[in-house]
Amino acid sequence: MKIIGVLLTLSLMLAATQIANGQDSAPAGKQFLYKLTLTRGDMLKTGPTKEESDAVEQHYNRLLDYTKEGVVILAGRTLTNDETTFGIVIFRSASEDAAREFMNGDPVVQKGVMKATLFPFKVALADGTTVY
């Protein structure tokens, strides 16, 4: 249960640190955001199943790899543990079709642990100093 929050918080901290340190040498592209919501709303209260936990770990590792490659700009989740909780992934992609493929390739989406909704997005400021 707590591992989900820790993993997503770590990915958010890594992305923010890279942006703040000017390590944003990512490939150019359009920006997109996908919002993640749990398919089993009580997962954070009752704890994940082994399958859910494995999917979340794969999700985190995938986002970490793509953050290091400069594709993922930011990823994180709300700190609520009820039905209002959600996560976001802000990333770069060449097109909306490629962005949808990236989102649908997320292990938590593929394995039905979370539902995802894609939005075109544009980061305007990060840490109050960086303009994209």
For residue 131, the SS3 value is strand
Strand partners, 9: none
| pLDDT 10s digits, 92-117 | 999 999 999 999 999 999 999 999 99
Greater model confidence, 3 or 21:
3
Within-domain flag for 36: yes
CA pair distance 117, 62, nearest whole angstrom = 18
CA pair distance 11, 107, nearest whole angstrom = 16
| pLDDT 10s digits, 58-72 | 999 999 999 999 999
Strand partners, 64: none
- Into how many domains does the chain fold? 1
For residue 111, report the phi and psi dihedrals to the nearest 5 degrees: -95, 5
CB neighbour list of residue 120: distance below 8 Å, 6 or more residues apart = 30, 31, 32, 96
Within-domain flag for 127: no
**Sign of the Cα pseudo-torsion (44, 108, 104, 91, in order):** positive
Within-domain flag for 129: no
As a whole-number percent, the residues of the chain with pLDDT over 90 amount to 67
**Whole-structure pTM over 0.85, yes or no?**
no
E strands, 1-132, where?
30-38, 72-77, 87-93, 114-121, 125-126, 130-131
Within-domain flag for 58: yes
Within-domain flag for 66: yes
Question: Range of 117's domain?
Answer: 2-21+29-122
Within-domain flag for 79: yes
Q: What is the mean pLDDT of residues 79-94?
A: 95
Query: Domain containing 109 — which CATH number?
Result: 3.30.70.1060
For residue 76, the SS3 value is strand
CA pair distance 67, 39, nearest whole angstrom = 25
